[in-house]
Amino acid sequence: MSDFTHLLQNHLEGHLATINRLGECREVLTAIAEAWVRALKAGKKILFFGNGGSAADAQHLAAELVVRYRMNRRALPSIALTTDTSILTAHSNDYGFETVFSRQIEALAQPGDVVVGISTSGTSKNVVAGLQAARERGCVVVSFTGQNGGDCAAQAHHAYCVPTVITAYAQECHLMAGHVLCEYVEEAFRD
């Protein structure tokens, strides 16, 4: 077996072992799915944010809701707070990076919106601050983290903690669950 084949096999086995444990998250994912649909049906929006790969996931999931996941339907209001480079750089320059998401929550979030903070460690200070700001504004607060949950899970009404300490596996499972959530939402808005 080549080195790459061995590496691939190890990754697949680790990933599959993590996926096989996602049943442990069934209740929280169901609660998140219902919160998303309830908010969107009430005319509210979903706001996503995170750093690095989690920022990419935030953008990906927001796009699935605004554009479409698997079927044509009306656009659904969703925003990734990680995309406006002018806001990100101006705020980080003037105030620092720790409050880059909480400032946007202050400006954009309304009571009843769903705010999803993504942090595999569960300890990203700017994500924790964003979730705290969302809670103060009366939003439904959701966190996507790795197994430890950290301060992000402590701030959340609904904490999806992937049962792994391996960042890559957590990220892969965040996106997989995000896709299932988007499909559930799409079914609720079928024309």
Distance CA 53, CA 56 (A): 5
Give strand pairing partners of 140: 114
What is the CB-side half-sphere exposure of residue 66 using CA atoms within 13 A? 14
Continuous H helices in 21-155 = 26-41, 53-66, 85-94, 100-108, 125-136, 150-155
**pTM, full prediction:** 0.96
56-103: per-residue pLDDT in tens? Answer: 999 999 999 999 999 999 999 999 999 999 999 999 999 999 999 999
At 141 the three-state DSSP class reads strand
114-172: per-residue pLDDT in tens? Answer: 999 999 999 999 999 999 999 999 999 999 999 999 999 999 999 999 999 999 999 99
Secondary element (H or E) of residue 12: helix 3-20
Q: Is the pLDDT of residue 190 over 90?
A: no
Confidence of residue 1 (pLDDT cuts 50, 70, 90): low
Distance CA 42, CA 53 (A): 30
Domains of the chain by range and CATH?
A: 3-188 (3.40.50.10490)
Q: Is the pLDDT of residue 51 over 90?
A: yes
Handedness of CA 92, 93, 96, 99 (dihedral sign): negative
Q: Check residue 17 and give its pLDDT.
A: 94
